[in-house]
Amino acid sequence: MLMSPALVALGLIAFVATGAVLLACGFALRILGCWDLASGGELQVRLERRTYLISTLLGFALGAELLSLLLFVHTAESLSSQFVGAMCATGVLNANAFGFPALLLKIAVFFLAALWLLLNRIDNRGYDYPLVRLKYGLLLALAPLTVAEATVQTLYFLGLKPDVITSCCGSLFGADGRGAAAELAGLPPEPTLVAFYGTGAALLVSGLAFRRRLRLGPLFAAGCALAFGVAIAAIIAVLSLYVYENPNHHCPFCLLKAGYGYLGYALYVPLFVAAAAGLGAGLIAPLGRIASLRAVVPGEVRRLTWLALGGFGIFYGLATWVIVRSNLVLLG
């Protein structure tokens, strides 16, 4: 097993966050079964007092989970020099069977944690705790994922052995590879770019319309999810080629290297932030019908919508710059 400060930090974050979530799950069950705002009983008073403490604890824990995704990817990239055959984070994640599952679980926790933090923020601004059952119900759904993430990440870290020969990114994202990564790498450039910019244009139109008509929230959330998926596919299939100026190099992790100006961070951070903000904006829009949130939700939706559109705008702008400045000619 490798030992580094980053691995220790990631392990601590995972176990502290999991412990906080599991601790809060017991409280969540009491909330779902006993919460009655109309009651002035001792139990209700205790629940109202404890919800501030629990939500504050979860805020720190889940906030750390958001940052741990970035730290996890950065750590995988920084360890690539310690494994034979690894050229980037792909080889490190492929060093054992738990690397990529750990990454996918962290991405899922990232989006659900962001949604929970948003619901908690809005609930704290309502005078009658209107979302208390909804946010603690979501917490119960989030708990198995945090447990799975901590478990799989631990198994991954324990299985990291420098003497293991791992594979480079070309074997996973190459034409001869198998699985979803190779399928994405094999997408034709022109249709992929059409879908890429088409979903971006549709997202812009739906976002501007959504700001005026909150009932379009589910449509905007679905558009953000679709744009996020298409963006990841476009990075693997097309954008990476323009960055490397190599028609056969599809790796989405080599973009994180210093040799490419850490371009991957400039692409992925606004993309993930925008997707989380857009999903959150679309999903909370229907909550504006609640009396105590009528003055809260519209403002939150507008801010999140602008954040989503701004993040996607930065991403699309940078992607276009990458294509324009590249010496590689894929089309025409």
Let me know whether 59 and 141 are in one domain.
Answer: yes
- Would you state the structure tokens that stand for residue 148, as one six-digit string? 């799975």
* Best CA proximity match to 39, nearest among 135, 128, 127: 128
Residue 237 CB-density burial (10 A; 0-12 exposed, 13-18 middle, 19+ buried): buried
CB 239 within 8 A of CB 246: no
CA distance 190 to 219: 26
The number of folded domains in the chain is 2
- Would you state the structure tokens that stand for residue 94, as one six-digit string? 């492929």
Let me know whether 199 and 295 are in one domain.
Answer: yes
Let me know whether 191 and 231 are in one domain.
Answer: yes
**How far lies 87's CA from each of 39, 67, 313, in Å?**
62, 24, 31
Confidence at residue 177, expressed as pLDDT on a 0 to 100 scale = 64
Let me know whether 127 and 186 are in one domain.
Answer: no
CA distance 51 to 319: 43
Confidence at residue 50, expressed as pLDDT on a 0 to 100 scale = 85
Confidence at residue 125, expressed as pLDDT on a 0 to 100 scale = 87
Which residue range(s) make up the domain with 74? 1-167
CB 100 within 8 A of CB 169: no
Let me know whether 311 and 199 are in one domain.
Answer: yes
Confidence at residue 53, expressed as pLDDT on a 0 to 100 scale = 87
Q: Of 167, 200, 227, which residue is a domain's last? A: 167
Q: Of 167, 186, 201, which residue is a domain's last? A: 167
Let me know whether 125 and 41 are in one domain.
Answer: yes
Let me know whether 96 and 85 are in one domain.
Answer: yes
Q: Which residue has the tokens 């705008």?
A: 313
Let me know whether 188 and 146 are in one domain.
Answer: no
Let me know whether 175 and 288 are in one domain.
Answer: yes
Low-confidence ranges of the chain (pLDDT < 70): 1-2, 38, 85, 170-171, 174-177, 332
Q: List, in sequence order, the alpha helices (H) in the chain.
A: 5-34, 42-78, 89-93, 99-125, 132-158, 169-172, 180-185, 189-212, 217-234, 240-244, 263-284, 297-325
Q: Whole-model pTM?
A: 0.93
Let me know whether 12 and 111 are in one domain.
Answer: yes
Let me know whether 150 and 261 are in one domain.
Answer: no
Q: Of 167, 202, 220, which residue is a domain's last? A: 167
Let me know whether 219 and 304 are in one domain.
Answer: yes
